[in-house]
Structure 1
């Protein structure tokens, strides 16, 4: 016969309730013992019957296990308390930063000329003075940047001028060297041309002159 599923509620019959308590108590004590032996776990079990009778099991020392439990619970509570404090601190910082961001947004809009309807004359004067100071700072920075760029361009101009002078000097030197190399060739050409010119004086017809030249050679 298959047993039905036991309903998880209080057994009204006192005798049945006592019998069930005895059986399940013994089974629970047995399971605690097996758990401590098989898994090398530190197990402590405390049971009070409906009439207040104590049943307990401890794999080592009940008192030491209880002290260990209390220490662990204390540490956990301390960690939880620290975590709660940290969360509250973060929430407070978040709220403070949100307020600062909101104030900065309002100030930014006022500097842009927006949201000035609720501003007093003193606040408007302060905004105007702040804008004037900002304009002076921006202009001073702009002039500084201009001057730095001008100095850089002047330095670049000097560098280019020096490079140009150097290249010009090299070009002149190469031109002079080329002119000197051409001069001996001109002299040789002149000598060759001069060698073909007749320097002797002959008297008589051309035929006689050519005959004399052949005999002289």
Structure 2
């Protein structure tokens, strides 16, 4: 059966002797890990440790002063960026507060224009509100009149267009009626001519038959039909 290793609780070691022994072991392990990281990854490392008694231990594969100076420059740059960001955030906050106040004022004016929340206004404020409403009403009436005139003009154009289309359709209908009448006359003339030719053929084919051709010819007439 495999034994499960218990985790060591990370807390301050009360015994001074045990604490010094643990510090010595862990410090050496920490410096070893720092050396491996610097060698494997080719990075600059500056490790500074002060013991409980105030003794200094440090590790740096390169120049400690150069690494610390570089850290100081970056720290100053970061501080400047943080300050700039804080300044910009303060500007945004003030702008948001100003917009919020402006929104509240405009909302109050809108309610007052609707006749709400006007009990606390004095005569001067009421007169100013009346002038604003009157000016807005005049603008609304003017815009409404312009829109109505535009609608009337559009309707008149549509009416003229419909009248033109109506006249065109009437003209086309009259032409169609004329064509139909002329075609009917031509059909009647064709029927009369066909009947006359048929009778003429009958009389010429067999003279022995006693056709009363004279009586047939008296009933056939070429030309337009009479009004009777």
Q: TM-score range by the shorter chain?
A: 0.7 to 0.9
1:155 counterpart residue number: 157
Task: Tell me the equivalent position of 2:206.
Answer: none
Q: Residues 4-59 of structure 1: CA distance to partner in whole angstroms, max 9, x if unpaired?
A: 9587437664x666555444433332222122223433211123456655432112
Q: Comparing 122-131 with 77-86, which one deviates more in the overlay?
A: 77-86
Write out aligned runs for 1:1-217 (5 A): 8-9=11-12, 13=16, 19-49=21-51, 53-190=55-192, 192=195
Q: Which runs of 5+ in 1 are unaligned?
A: 197-209
Q: What SS is found at the alignment partner of 2:57?
A: strand
Normalized against structure 1, the TM-score is what? 0.76
- CA spacing shift, 1:171–1:67, aligned 2, 3 Å: same
The unaligned stretches of length 5 or more in structure 2 are 200-208, 214-228
Q: 1:213 to 1:140 in 2, by over 3 A?
A: closer
Q: CA RMSD in A?
A: 3.3
Offset from partner CA, 1:90-145 (integer Å, 9 cap, x none): 22111111111111122112111122221110111111111111111111111111
1:201 alignment counterpart? none
3-state DSSP class of the match of 2:59? Answer: strand
Q: Distance in 2 between matches of 1:27 and 1:131?
A: 82
* Structure 1 residue 184 displacement after superposition: 2.8
Q: What CA distance in whole angstroms lies between the structure 2 residues aligned with 1:11 and 1:50?
A: 13
Aligned length: 199
Secondary structure of the residue aligned to 1:59 is coil
Normalising by structure 2, we get a TM-score of 0.72
What SS does structure 2 have at the residue aligned with 1:55? strand
Q: Measure, in 2, the Cα distance between the counterparts of 1:168 and 1:7.
A: 105
DSSP-derived class of the 2:12 partner: coil
SS at 1:144 equivalent:
helix
Task: For residue 47 of structure 2, give the secondary structure of its aligned residue in structure 1.
Answer: strand
Separation in 2 of the partners of 1:50 and 1:213? Answer: 157
